[in-house]
Structure 1
Amino acid sequence: MGKRAEIDVDSSRTYVGPTNNNNNKFPLSFWEVTVALCVVVSFVLGLACVYLTMPASDYSFLKLPRTLEDLQILRDHLEDYTSDYTIQVLVGYCLVYIFMQTFMIPGTVFMSLLAGALFGVFKGVALVVFTATAGASSCYFLSKLIGRPLVFALWPDKMSFFQTQVAKRRKGLLNYMLFLRVTPTLPNTFINLASPIVDVPYHIFFLATFIGLIPAAYLTVRAGIALGDLRSIGDLYDFQAIATLFLIGVVSVTPTLMSKRKDD
């Protein structure tokens, strides 16, 4: 993959990333692709087990929702199964959500809306936070194994920025990661993939993810209860909702800023 260039940021040694003279070369090796395929097969087998325990029926409605109309159709059908086959629906939901998070498949916002529509606010938020944290953790560990060349190939500029910020904020890293999770400063997908590469410890990653996703999960799940009133995904995040998330993010990072002033 070529030699790795190194930089020294705030006296902590970190990697900028692999330098590759052949920009057209596929960033993952055969072994790395094999690991990813094994994970995919594991999820597929889990879903197959869920499918086999469900009653014989027409499941043509089962597909990843891409529009609100798809989601409403899925909700209408799954409502008939949720009360009688609660475990199977829950396990299937969790597997799909975690799989989507692990492999950066867009559309988890629809899954969060579905949780609200099927299970209500309290259970829905608990389910979304659990699956989102599990999926982010799965992505974190997979990236730790095989993600470095892929992340640097996709987001070289963001990686440089994120690496510098993490190095600067080691003492208040939990607050900074909470800020990133609550606010849309950096995409969650990027945070999941990049965190292990810039040496964000897993316990900090886990806590920031678990706590930081609660506000957005609540907004989305609550909207899922009134799914019929939604006209577009943009209705979820109006100015008030975004301002609230930023306010929570600022509060989460304030202790770090205050401690820096005291040190100065």
Structure 2
Amino acid sequence: MPHGNPVTFFQGPARLGLSTALGVFRAGFVLVGNVPTKDGTSPTAGSLLVINRNGSQIAEWMPAAAKINGPWDLTIFDAGDHAKVFVSNVLDGTVTRLDVSIDDDGVHLNRATKIASGYTFRSDPSALVLGPTGLAYDPQRDVLYVASTADNEIFAVSGAGSSQHDGSKGVLIYADNNHLRGPLGMALGPNGHLFVANGDAVNADPKHPSEIVEFTPQGRFVAQFSIDPAVDGPFGIAFGQPKHGFVHFAAVDDNTNTVTVWRLPFEDADH
């Protein structure tokens, strides 16, 4: 909303447990993960909720049909009348691809395929659970990048948009204890680099708290900056579409319950 005044779009029941598995389709439908817990421990498998543009829930995809187990984060490759949704599952260390169709009535789940597995997952006293989190998809190369929080590593899964089998973890592309500190949200920047939010639940360093780290898909560190002087701040991050020489970059600060949006200069190499 303008001037930073948010309004409630969707209100679920108590203990619903909405996660960072949040995405919006071009048609206006919203998909969000739900990993509930009754007492702050022992989360259950949850579900994925489909919400229309008016904030009303119109569908719920359950674990058996969607092959999910704690949907912790997701990313969407949207082609208009159909899409591919990639979901990281924090309770069993896997990634699922959902092939969906979209029409005026909603988003319809056609097929669910487990495409990756083997990422470390475990309970955590402060973060509830740790496991695969941030996902970034490159449709040009058909590669899905996975931020494995508990492993403190980034993996690349080839053929993610078409694979019909489990490709295990994929290929390790970035392992950097000098800069990675429990990677959570991840985004593919317009410059082709990957950006990840350090959640500080793993390999924390109070001298380098709450950092966003930029690196190349080939695993070369580029830059980092802190969004909060305390640890545990960064969570979700996202880029807008470049326009008129600028791109918007947004980051959630979980410590202050705020979202900051930066307007950054961007030079398109094709122009």
Q: TM-score, normalised by structure 1?
A: 0.24
Higher RCO (CA 8 Å, separation ≥ 6 residues): 1
Q: Which has the higher helix share?
A: 1
Q: TM-score, normalised by structure 2?
A: 0.24
Q: For the pair shown, which has the larger CA radius of gyration, 1 or 2?
A: 1
